[in-house]
Amino acid sequence: MISIAPRHLHQQYDVVVVGAGPAGMAAALGAREGGAEQVLIIDREREAGGILPQCIHAGFGLHHFKEELTGPEYAQRFLEQVLTRDIDLLTDAYVLDISLDGQLKVMSPRCGVTLLDSRAVVLAMGARERTRGAIRIPGQRPAGVMTAGFAQKLVNMAGYLPGKRIAILGSGDIGLIMARRLVLEGAEVMGVFEIMPHANGLNRNIVQCLHDFGTPLQLSTTVTYVHGFSRLEKVTVAPVDAHFNVLADQSRDVPCDTLLLSIGLIPENELSRQLQLRLDPVTGGPLVTSAMKTSRDGVFACGNVVHIHDLADFVSQESLLAGRSAGAYASGHQSPPDNIRLVPGENVRYCVPHTISSYGEHTVYLRVTRSLGACTLRLGTVYQKPLRYAFPGEMVTLKVKPRLLEHFHGEALKIDILPRQGGEG
Amino acid sequence: MSERYHYYHYLCIGCPLGCRLEVEAEAADIVEVRGFACQHGEEFAIQEHTDPRRVVTTTVRIKGGVWPRLPVKTDGVIPKDKVVPLCRALHALSISAPIKLGEPILSDALETGIDVVATRDLPRA
């Protein structure tokens, strides 16, 4: 594996990045661009890439590289850049703790517990999957119930088929993609069950992962019981009404030996909490400025740690920026603070970053609370633009140019997304 | 309206709107496409109806590498009805590490003119 030997580790770094996924690798490259000389990435896995090496499907890179790549190809392109820019990479190592003055306590089989000092830290730990416990599915505790991303690693990297007859709860993209993978590897997929009245994944995945193989998708349906004592034997599924009440009299049993859960991701913020960063209760991640700085000086964050992104390409963009800011901070150049707070308004669940400045150009990511047809995005009274649609599953991107804010002297801007006439969806 | 025309339904994959596309046709002979909100929808419906194609990504068994599976892809689209047969054919392969990204694993797969290539470096363990 490509990893620095522990004896070559420096005592002092300009920037240490926690996590070598798409966010961490881009942040490290950004840190070098921003002026940092000594940059280290630490990752707990044996190789860099985060979840990219297990995401063997295509669909990556269209924004960043202007061509369609698979996850492993996207990871390898970034890793090759990392290795040519004098960035240290320490894999198979875990950051146990970060002290308030920027000292990291790192543990690994090869170097035991080591202390490292850094002028700036970038948090790029990504997210973890929600498990059965998060939605409290009643029933027994057999083997064979697992998250879709874990099954993806088993199938695509470790070479294990998790089962022969598979039920999938949740229509997120990872679940849909695993439905196709398991069919192509010889398993039978009994169905994908989604509690919402609409699918969560991309239409492209509904078509190419389910329709292509005749795999049924049952909307407004959930798993109500898990059966089996040693191995999963069957699940009970039932439709739900408009208020998500289970219609138990219409339940039925689905025989299966494996249940995959594709029910969402949670930003991984243990280190953020240790650092006492201010968190956004909606995203679960740190509050960040337009420079991706957190509430603590010298600590930056990017990628799924901050909020769950739709595409790795957006993670890379955001993380290059976070890295540049960290590199500049470590070299003693700090950008002036933001002066405008962004406030999620009508139909807006959250926005990132949480503040912007009236100079400089910003990319703001938003997520809506519900599905809207034709609608209008409003940034206070300074700007508005029409949108053909807005769906909770797809981030809305807003580019804020300095000229928009030339005549704005307030402290906060509210962002609303309002349906246009006949645009209720 | 003539009896011999049939209605075929497709879900557009162009954007999250997911237009429900309807193709009125007799076999490959398309009379009309309905239900699209933009040009991409119409083009997609015609392509899907007459000649659906897919990029295939899967894995093959590999010996002596840091992982026992190597991710691969077709380096272009192949007819949709060849997706499953191709995966079956790839199951029969066994290769050895090391492998470099882009290295061909199977040339002219199922006589489609398309190669199957590795999508990562896989060094020896």
**pLDDT per position as a tens digit, A301-333:** 999 999 999 899 999 999 999 999 999 999 999
**A414 within domain boundaries:** yes
Q: Are A124 and A271 members of one domain? A: yes
Residue A424 within a domain: no
* Residues A50 and A171 reside in one and the same domain: no
Query: CA neighbours within 13 Å on the CB side: how many for A27?
Result: 39
The alpha carbon of residue B4 is apart from the nearest alpha carbon of chain A, in Å, by: 25
Query: Are the C-beta atoms of residues A105 and A21 closer than 8 Å to each other?
Result: no
How confident is the prediction along chain A (425 residues), in pLDDT tens digits per residue?
Answer: 577 777 788 989 999 999 999 999 999 999 999 999 999 999 999 999 999 999 999 999 999 999 999 999 999 999 999 999 999 999 999 999 999 888 999 999 988 999 999 999 999 999 999 999 999 999 999 999 999 999 999 999 999 999 999 999 999 999 999 999 999 999 999 999 999 998 888 888 999 999 999 999 999 999 999 999 999 999 999 999 999 999 999 999 999 999 999 999 999 999 999 999 999 999 999 999 999 999 999 999 999 999 999 899 999 999 999 999 999 999 999 878 999 999 999 999 999 999 999 988 999 999 999 989 899 999 999 999 999 899 888 899 999 999 999 889 999 999 999 998 754 44
Q: Do B83 and A184 touch (CB under 8 A)?
A: yes
For residue B119, give how far its alpha carbon lies from the nearest alpha carbon of chain A (Å): 6
Kindly state whether residue A83 falls inside one of the protein's structural domains: yes
Q: Are residues A251 and A271 in the same domain?
A: no
Residues on chain B touching A53 (C-beta within 8 angstroms): 71, 120
Give the distance from residue B18's alpha carbon to the nearest chain A alpha carbon, in angstroms. 6
Contact B11 A211 (CB under 8 A): yes
The C-alpha atoms of residue A124 and residue A273 are separated, in whole angstroms, by: 14
Mind listing the domains of chain B with CATH numbers?
Answer: 6-51 (no CATH), 57-118 (3.10.530.10)
Instruction: Confirm or reject contact between B101 and chain A (CB < 8 A).
Output: yes
**Does residue A270 share a domain with residue A124?**
yes
**A253 at B interface, C-beta within 8 A:** no
Contacts of B88 (CB under 8 A, 6+ apart): none
Q: How many Cβ atoms sit within 10 Å of the Cβ of residue A330? A: 25
Domain termination residue (choose one: A217, A246, A263): A263
Closest CA of chain A from B92, distance in Å: 12
DSSP letter string, A215-252: --EESSEEEEEEE-SSB--EEEEEEB-TT--B-GGG-E
Nearest CA in chain B to A388: B17
Picking from A1, A52, A57, A180 by the largest number of B CB atoms within 10 A of its own CB, the best residue to mutate is A57
In this structure, are A166 and A276 located in the same domain?
Answer: no
- Our CA-based measurement puts residue B11 at a distance from the nearest CA of chain A, in whole angstroms, of 7
**A102-113 pLDDT, tens digit each:** 899 999 998 899
Cβ atoms of A4 and A50 within 8 Å: the answer is no
Residue A214 lies in a domain: yes
Q: Looking at chain B from residue 16 to 55, which residues have their Cβ under 8 Å from any Cβ of chain A?
A: 16-18, 37, 54-55
Question: Hey, is the C-beta of B57 within 8 angstroms of any chain A C-beta?
Answer: yes
What distances in angstroms separate CA B77 from CA A73, B53, B55, one per listed residue? 18, 6, 4
Q: Which of B10, B13, B58 sits opposite A204 (nearest CB)?
A: B13
Tell whether B73 lies on the interface with A, counting CB pairs under 8 A.
Answer: yes
Strand order in the sheet with A348-352: A348-352, A362-368, A396-400
What is the chain A residue with the closest CA to B10? Answer: A207
Contact A72 B61 (CB under 8 A): no
CATH for A186: 3.50.50.60
Shared domain check, A238 and A317: no
Q: Which residue among A53, A73, A394 places its CB closest to the CB of B16?
A: A394
Hey, of B61, B83, B119, which one would you mutate to test binding to chain A, going by the most A CBs within 10 A of its CB? B119
pTM here is 0.94
Contacts of A211 in chain B (CB under 8 A): 11
List the domain range (segments joined by +) for residue A204.
131-263
Q: Check whether residue A142 and residue A257 sit in a common domain.
A: yes
Whether A110 and A188 map to the same domain: the answer is no
Please count the structural domains in chain A: 3
Q: Which of A309, A330, A351 is the last residue of a domain?
A: A330
Q: So what's the ipTM on this one?
A: 0.92
- For residue A1, is it within any domain? no
CB contacts < 8 A (A, B): 85
- Provide the H-helix boundaries in B8-73: 39-50
Report the amino acid identity of residue A98: I
- Together in a domain, A67 and A96: yes
* B84 interaction partners in chain A (CB closer than 8 Å): 184
Are B68 and A158 a contacting pair at CB < 8 A?
Answer: yes
Is residue A143 domain-resident?
A: yes
